[in-house]
Structure formats: structure tokens, C-alpha cells
Structure 1
Amino acid sequence: MDQRYEISSQNKLQNNTLNKSSQTLQLNSIYWNHLNFGLEQLNQQQNQLLFQLQYQDGQELLKQNTLEGGQRVKWNFS
């Protein structure tokens, strides 16, 4: 009887340990998912800013290569 009680107690302790480990893993998974989501958001913002900067650079180049009145500058490299 004593041995059965001891084994049952050990099983309960092991189950508690496993449950706590499982909860910790679930929390870690939630944390990493949240972190990944945040990184994806930052990446999208960075891509959007990069696109805006490239667009602004393109607009500036277009202004530099356009004469007043809307005529395009003709470059002669010969």
C-alpha cells in the first residue's frame, strides 16, 4: 500500500512538472509569435518608408531633368 501511494505521489509530481513545462512552452510560443508579428509590422513599415523615399528620389530626379513648361531635358552624351 505504501509503495502504491509513493508511486501515485511521484506520478502526480511528474504530471505537475509536465503541466508547468507545457504552460511555459505555450507562453514561450505566444511570446515568440507576438515578437514575430511585431517584427513583421516593423518590416512592412520599413518597406513602406523605403518605397516612399525611392518615390521621392524619383520625383526629385524627374524635376531635375525637366525644364520649366514641362519639357524633358535631352541629354547628349556624345
Structure 2
Amino acid sequence: MTNKTGYILGLISAIIYVLVLYGIDTNHILDFFAYLLGALLIPAIIAGLISLFSKNNFGKIFGFTCIIIHILSGLGGSLM
């Protein structure tokens, strides 16, 4: 997996996560982008810390981290 593929994978998983949790509301499009930024922030911090200590490329780690975090938070939010 290349760097670009990891970024695209992370962005697509964040978009799906935000759409599933909050739905599509055309009146509040800025809220969608705020939720999307929030959904990308935590996996980016975690991937940055992992790639700081290992010599792997950031994009690959970011893609996998986004998928794992979004699945876990989606499952955790649905159990409540």
C-alpha cells in the first residue's frame, strides 16, 4: 500500500463514519466538515505517534488507524 492509498482509505472511512453517525443534512454542511475533521484528528495523532517511533510511512499507518478507530467507535456508540 502506498502513501496516497492510505490517505484515501482514511478519508473514505471517515466520510462513511460521519454519514452513518450523523446522516446528510444539507442545511448544516459546515457541521459535516467539522465532524469530518474531528473524525480524522484522533487517528492522525495516533498514526503520527506510531510513525514517529517506527520507520513505516505515515499514510499506510494512517489508513489502518482510521479504519480501526472508526469501527471501534461506531460499535461502541451503537451499544449504548
> Does TM-score exceed 0.5, indicating one fold?
no
TM-score (norm 1): 0.32
User: Using CA pairs below 8 Å that are at least 6 residues apart, which structure has the higher relative contact order?
Assistant: 2
Larger radius of gyration: 1
Normalising by structure 2, we get a TM-score of 0.31
